[in-house]
Amino acid sequence: MNMGPPAGGDAAAHPRPTVIQLTIKEKSALYAAYIPLFAEGGIFVPSARQYTLGQDVYVLLTLPDDVQRYPVAGKVAWITPPGATGARTQGVGIRFPHDERARALKARIEEILGPLLASDKPTQTV
């Protein structure tokens, strides 16, 4: 019976997810970063770090006027490279997972944003 890799096995085969701490202090910044296009929700993270599509990331998200930190085990769903057109900020779009915690986070974000969700102001997202 195979019990997994031997001690000291190849850690590169299953690297630990990158941990990102993201604190959003203003509703306008949350509006610019939130990705309602994803059915399960998502968030844009400004970053100069290199990521790959589908990469696992663990985001510790703090929302405006909320003392709670929301842990999200998401995946990189798109990448905005340096020098992107339209003066877009370099970073990554993180897709929230299909789970109850992510659904609660999406609902909390949409509750905070309220009428801003219907705005046509430009965002950092698609």
Tens-place pLDDT, residues 30-86: 999 999 888 899 999 999 999 999 999 999 999 998 989 999 999 999 999 888 777
What pLDDT score was predicted for residue 118?
Answer: 73
Residue 120 within a domain: no
Residue 76 within a domain: yes
What is the number of structural domains in the chain?
1
Beta-carbon contacts of 40 under 8 Å, excluding residues fewer than 6 positions away, are 95, 96, 97, 98, 102, 103, 106
Q: Which amino acid is at 60?
A: L
Domain coverage including residue 40: 17-114
Residue 50, classified by CB atoms within 10 Å of its CB into exposed (0-12), middle (13-18) or buried (19+), is: exposed
The helix or strand, by DSSP H or E, that contains position 33, with its residue range, turns out to be helix 27-33
DSSP helix, strand, coil percent of the chain (3-state; round to 5): 25, 30, 45
CATH number at residue 72: 2.40.10.220
Percent of the chain with pLDDT over 90: 59
Residue 43 within a domain: yes
Inter-residue contact 63 to 112 (CB < 8 Å): yes
